[in-house]
Structure 1
Amino acid sequence: MSSNKNALIRYKTLDKCLKNKYRQYTLEDLIDECSEALFEFEGKESFVSKRTVQLDLQNMRSEKFGYEAPIEVYDRKYYRYSDPEYSIHNISVNESDLKAMNNAVQILKQFKDFSMFKDMNGVIQKLEDSIHSTNQKSIIHLDKNERLKGLEHIDILYESILNRNVLKILYKSFKAKESDSYIVHPQLLKEYNNRWFLICWHKNKMYNLALDRMEEISIEAKITYIDKEFDSDQYFKEVIGVTVSENLRAQNVIFKINSKHAPYVKTKPFHHSQEIIKEDESGTTFKIYVQLNFELERMILGLGEFITVLKPNILKKRIQASLQEAFQNYQHLNEREDA
């Protein structure tokens, strides 16, 4: 059982004892009651130390968790609430708290039709009822698309990561003519640019598999799961998007944004490593430290004529070739229309 769960059980037990008007409790009695309560929940001996209970009482007295419980010691050894009507479960919620909770409910409601949040429908309804939530219109809108292909796989992938299950996935990439089977050890679900990906261990390396290319998924119960203790922040530290190469080193990418659009890139950086290295009337020159990948190129091309890649030369040539091909597409289109 987690330490947070243990603490909640102890607080609930202490609250029950301190508001009991028909029995006197010493510190040793409170320790015994907490130990017994944990035993009932865990089904095994669980000794609670004197120091732990003293700290719990101190936390309940303080503003740390919003309790500010009126705990007093009387006759030099017994503990109780000085206000016999007090309970940590009777804490009042002010109007500001209600507004904040109501706003949170409005955000949660946007996910209620999303497959992986479907079990929260009842929870959201209970929250609305308990805080007397109004039917106010949502003032925060999150970008989501429940019709994305592959979302039907999220539940089994999520549960498999949670339960450490090995999966067999029938997968067909956009480039492949036929589907392939992958035996994978799922580590993380990641959303990028409104597409979902499974980050998984396969044949001694990490892969990212797009959910919209998955055709069938089944659990391989006889294969032992490999937990890579995956650190997503570290893994994606030097990339934009989801494509990480073990064979490529990150490098400095230098680009210039014209003066009209530079503020957008300043306020929404391409990457956390972004820094300004030059600024004048014509625009701002930025530097980021990343691997060269597909997502980086798509981001640059998305800015069209507002961005110029300066370094490295290999990336500059790729972008130039893509723009030239796009130009040729329009040239051919205009020629056909004029014919």
Structure 2
Amino acid sequence: MSSNKNALIRYKTLDKCLKNKYRKYTLEDLIDECSEALFEFEGKESFVSKRTIQLDLQNMRSEKFGYEAPIEVYERKYYRYSDPEYSIHNISVNESDLKAMNNAIQILKQFKDFSMFKEMNGVIQKLEDSIHSTNQKSIIHLDKNEQLKGLEHIDILYENILNKKVLKILYKSFTARESNVYTVHPQLLKEFNNRWFLVCLYKQKMYNLALDRMETIEVDEKTTYIDRNLDGDEYFKDIVGVTVAESIVPKKVVFFVDSANAPYVKTKPLHKSQEIVSETKEGTLFKICVQINYELERLLLGFGDSLVVHKPQKLRLRMEEKFKAGSRNYQDLVLPEEN
């Protein structure tokens, strides 16, 4: 269990004890109550130190989490709230908090038609009612497309990743003549460039299956699920896009961007590893360390003549050939006469 969740359980337990009017609690009693609560949640013995509970009480008294709890020591050894009606669950919010919550609601409302967020509609409405949210139009617009093919599969995929179920997916790739059934162990859902993918284990290897190529999905109750315990941030850390090759070592990619476009690459890095190698009045030389995949090539090609790959040579030659092929396509293009 995470330390944050442990702390929340302790605060909730302390709150229950401190507002109890029918029992007196010493510091040792509070330690025992918190240890018991953690045992119930974790199913194993959890040692809570005296120092930990003292810090918890100090945090609850302070403004750190907005509690400012009126905790007092009486008869020199017992703890309680000086205000018998107080509880950390009764904290009021100020006007600034309401504005922040209202802004968050406006963002959440943009997902109301997204199938996997439909169950949030009622929650959002309750939030609006409880904080008297306005009906203002959102001034933050997120790039989304609810009409994308395959979005109808997100609910069942999400549910079965959560419940660790094996799936039989009837799938037809763009290159296949016929559909095939894949028995997979779903691990993660990944969105990239307005397209969704299922990251799954298939025949002991990791694969990406595009949701828009899935035709049917069934749960396979007979096969034991294999959990790779993937962390998305860690799994995708060395790539641009979604295509991860576990056997490929990331390489340094050095590329030049002209002065007109370099500010865009500086302010929106192609990858978190991006560094500036050098700068001149003509432009900037950048470096990233990534696996070279299809998505990276597409991204680099998208800069057109404003970007030139220097290293590695294999990628440089591939980019050069693609630009030559594109140039030939324009030269050979015959357009029909306009009416």
Q: TM-score, normalised by structure 2?
A: 0.88
Equivalent position of 2:144 in the other structure: 144
Output the amino acid matched with 1:112.
K
Q: CA deviation at 1:36?
A: 7.9
Whole-angstrom CA distance in 2 between matches of 1:302 and 1:61? 55
More displaced stretch, 317-326 vs 16-25: 16-25
Residues 36-72 of structure 1 deviation map (CA, whole Å, 9 limit, x = unaligned) = 8789x86989898683655543432233322121111
Output the amino acid matched with 1:105.
I
Q: State the identity %.
A: 72
Q: CA deviation at 1:259?
A: 1.1
Whole-angstrom CA distance in 1 between matches of 2:231 and 2:15? 39
Equivalent position of 2:304 in the other structure: 304
Output the amino acid matched with 1:183.
T
Structure 2 counterparts to residues 193-212 of structure 1, below 5 A: 193-212=193-212
Q: Contact between 1:34 and 1:48, CA under 8 Å: does it hold in 2?
A: no
Q: Which secondary structure does the structure 1 equivalent of 2:119 belong to? A: helix
Equivalent position of 2:68 in the other structure: 68
Q: Contact between 2:34 and 2:48, CA under 8 Å: does it hold in 1?
A: no
Output the amino acid matched with 1:248.
I
Whole-angstrom CA distance in 2 between matches of 1:288 and 1:6? 39
More displaced stretch, 121-130 vs 52-61: 52-61
Distance 1:253 1:6, change over 3 A: closer
Output the amino acid matched with 2:264.
Y
Q: Contact between 2:13 and 2:33, CA under 8 Å: does it hold in 1?
A: yes
More displaced stretch, 164-173 vs 83-92: 83-92
Output the amino acid matched with 2:209.
L
More displaced stretch, 41-50 vs 25-34: 41-50
Whole-angstrom CA distance in 2 between matches of 1:189 and 1:78? 51
Q: Which secondary structure does the structure 1 equivalent of 2:136 belong to? A: coil
Q: TM-score, normalised by structure 1?
A: 0.88
Q: Contact between 1:168 and 1:182, CA under 8 Å: does it hold in 2?
A: yes
Q: Contact between 1:185 and 1:200, CA under 8 Å: does it hold in 2?
A: yes
Q: Contact between 1:170 and 1:179, CA under 8 Å: does it hold in 2?
A: yes
Whole-angstrom CA distance in 2 between matches of 1:77 and 1:10? 20
More displaced stretch, 9-18 vs 168-177: 9-18
Q: Which secondary structure does the structure 1 equivalent of 2:333 belong to? A: helix
Output the amino acid matched with 1:314.
K
Equivalent position of 2:109 in the other structure: 109
Structure 2 portions without partners, runs of 5+: none
Q: Which secondary structure does the structure 2 equivalent of 1:185 belong to? A: strand
Q: Which secondary structure does the structure 2 equivalent of 1:127 belong to? A: helix
Q: Which secondary structure does the structure 1 equivalent of 2:329 belong to? A: helix
Structure 2 counterparts to residues 50-69 of structure 1, below 5 A: 51=50, 54-69=54-69
Whole-angstrom CA distance in 2 between matches of 1:260 and 1:88? 54
Q: Contact between 1:107 and 1:138, CA under 8 Å: does it hold in 2?
A: yes
Structure 2 counterparts to residues 1-339 of structure 1, below 5 A: 8=8, 11-21=11-21, 24-27=24-27, 51=50, 54-334=54-334, 337=337
Whole-angstrom CA distance in 2 between matches of 1:186 and 1:335? 47
Whole-angstrom CA distance in 2 between matches of 1:97 and 1:63? 14
Q: Which secondary structure does the structure 2 equivalent of 1:190 belong to? A: strand
Output the amino acid matched with 1:146.
E
Whole-angstrom CA distance in 2 between matches of 1:53 and 1:280? 58
RMSD (Å), alpha carbons: 2.9
Whole-angstrom CA distance in 2 between matches of 1:337 and 1:323? 27
Q: CA deviation at 1:140?
A: 1.3
Output the amino acid matched with 2:101.
M
Distance 1:300 1:31, change over 3 A: closer
Q: Which secondary structure does the structure 1 equivalent of 2:156 belong to? A: helix
Structure 1 portions without partners, runs of 5+: none
Q: CA deviation at 1:283?
A: 1.5
Distance 1:50 1:230, change over 3 A: closer
Output the amino acid matched with 2:226.
I
Q: CA deviation at 1:278?
A: 2.5
Residues 89-124 of structure 1 deviation map (CA, whole Å, 9 limit, x = unaligned) = 332211111111111111111112111111111111
Aligned length: 337
